[in-house]
């Protein structure tokens, strides 16, 4: 898969795909709990206040993490360049206009947009529309 760097190309090719899993953004300052959760985490980030983890629903439940906002992950399938400019802004802007909160995690190959689970269908429609408008 070719890396896409130009803004319009990234937006046009983003091809959003919704993951069936429910995800939770969790945090802890308990090192033992963080180490038990780490192997199951989609992502882990160290912050001054503790460790943040993105965990699948079952793991978050099993480890007794608070689960205030179940999230759906939408993967933007375009292989966007790490130095590409504008994809995150286009996605976050379109979702913000529809009053849909989002958390974007940029990984090496793709960007992943996390939205409240109950708004995921609407978010998918919006992102598909944004991609079509870039054609």
Q: Please indicate, yes or no, if residue 2 is contained in any of the structural domains.
A: no
Q: Please indicate, yes or no, if residue 15 is contained in any of the structural domains.
A: yes
> What is the C-alpha end-to-end distance of the chain, expressed in Å?
19
> How many angstroms separate the CA atoms of 20 and 39, rounded?
20
Q: Please indicate, yes or no, if residue 1 is contained in any of the structural domains.
A: no
CATH number at residue 25: 3.30.2130.10
What are the pLDDT tens digits along the chain (135 aa)?
A: 788 888 788 889 899 999 999 999 999 999 999 999 999 999 999 999 999 999 999 999 999 999 999 999 999 998 888 888 888 999 999 999 999 999 999 998 899 999 999 999 999 999 999 999 988
131 burial level (CB within 10 Å; 0-12, 13-18, 19+): buried
pTM score, whole prediction? 0.93
Q: How many domains does the chain have?
A: 1
Q: Please indicate, yes or no, if residue 36 is contained in any of the structural domains.
A: yes
Question: What is the predicted pLDDT for the residue at 44?
Answer: 97
């Amino acid at each position: 898969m070719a890396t896409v760097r130009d803004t319009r190309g990234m937006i046009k090719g983003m091809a959003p795909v919704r993951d069936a899993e429910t995800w939770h953004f969790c945090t802890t300052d308990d090192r033992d709990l963080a180490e038990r959760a780490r192997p199951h985490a989609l992502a882990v980030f160290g912050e001054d206040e503790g460790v943040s983890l993105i965990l699948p629903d079952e793991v978050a439940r099993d480890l007794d993490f608070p689960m205030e906002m179940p999230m759906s992950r939408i993967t933007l399938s375009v292989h966007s360049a790490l130095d590409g400019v504008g994809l995150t802004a286009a996605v976050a802007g379109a979702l913000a206009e529809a009053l849909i909160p989002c958390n974007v995690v940029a990984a090496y190959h793709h960007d992943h947009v996390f939205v409240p689970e109950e708004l995921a269908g609407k978010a998918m429609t919006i992102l598909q529309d944004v991609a079509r408008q870039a054609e």
